[in-house]
Amino acid sequence: MRKAAAGVRDEKDVLDRLVAETGLSREDALLYLDLLRAGQIPRSGDASKLLEKGMAIVSGDGKRIIPIHPRLGIANQYRTWREAMVREINERRMRVDRLILELIPLYEAATDKNTASGGG
C-alpha cells in the first residue's frame, strides 16, 4: 500500500492559517512549507528565524536546515508567539497603570473643586 503524494489541498489556506494562527510572517510560513515539502534545504540566513522559533534544526554536518515535525514545530512557534503576546499585554498593563496614576490628580482636583464650591 503506497502513501498518497505529499501535499496540502489548499496551500493558500494553509499559508494564511500559518500566518494568522501562529504569528509567522508570510515569508517564514512559505519557507516552512517549502522546508516541510523538501525535507531539508541548504543552510542560509533565510532560515535563521525558523531556527530561532524552534521550527527547524541544523543538520549534524552544519550544512543543511531540517524541519521539526509540525506537531512540535508549530507548538514551539505558538509558544514563542504566546510568550510575546503575554509580555506585550503585561507591558501594556503597566503603561495603562502609569496613565491611570497620571489622571487621578486631574479627577481629584476637579472633585475637590466641585466639593469646595458646593457643586457636588
pLDDT at 67: 95
8 A C-beta contact, residue 91 and residue 32: no
pLDDT at 113: 82
The mean per-residue pLDDT over the stretch 26-46 comes to 92
Q: How many CB atoms lie within 10 A of CB 32?
A: 26
Phi, psi of 114, rounded to the nearest 5 degrees:
-65, -40
pLDDT at 34: 92
CA pair distance 93, 80, nearest whole angstrom: 20
Confidence of residue 119 (pLDDT cuts 50, 70, 90): low
Q: Does residue 5 register a pLDDT over 60?
A: no
The C-alpha cell at 110 is 476637579
Place of cell 512559505: 30
pTM above 0.75, yes or no: no
